[in-house]
Each structure stands twice: as structure tokens, then as C-alpha cells.
Amino acid sequence: MTITTISSRELNQDVTRAKKAAKSGPVFITDRGKPAHVLLSIEEYQRLTKQRRNIADSLAMPGVADIEFEPQRVTLGTRPADFS
């Protein structure tokens, strides 16, 4: 993996170069010499974000049905409303 660093000005002048560099690794884009953004290929972005699941995806994954989970029953009482 090759890491490339370019300035915002260089990015504005040559977007094609940055896109080509992103194919072989992340491209750090700097503002006034400090890293401000990262350009990734879509494949790398998907690989990185696939690791984070939301609860619906986690519950739908294979093998979840085999996990024993018996939460305690909660009883909520009701009381009359006070409109005074």
C-alpha cells in the first residue's frame, strides 16, 4: 500500500493524479500543511466500513439463532393521570 500526500491546491490542479494514486493506497489531502481529508478507492472504503455493523445487520447474521438469550421480564405499572 502506497500512501500519497498532496495539498488542496495540487488536488484542484490535478484530480486525475489523485484518483490514480488512490488506487494503490490512501491519498492524504492537506490544508496549509496539515492533513485535512483522505481520498480512498471505493473498494477500500467498503472494506473499512463493512467492519462496522448496525444492530439490524448484527441480528440478521448467521448463527445468531444459536445464541441463548433470556432477558428478565419487566413489568411496568400504570397509575391514573393527575389533571389538576
pLDDT beyond 80 at 58: no
Q: Please indicate whether residue 4 or residue 58 has the higher confidence score (pLDDT).
A: 4
pLDDT tens, 8-54?
999 999 999 999 999 999 999 999 999 999 999 988 888 887 766 66
Q: What is the reported pLDDT for 81?
A: 87
Q: What is the reported pLDDT for 52?
A: 62
CA angle 63, 65, 67 (to 5 degrees): 85
User: Which CATH number is 4-51 given?
Assistant: 3.40.1620.10
SS3 category, 75: coil
Domain boundaries, the chain: 4-51
Tell me how far apart the alpha carbons of residues 48 and 24 are, in angstroms, rounded to a whole number.
15
Q: Please indicate whether residue 71 or residue 7 has the higher confidence score (pLDDT).
A: 7
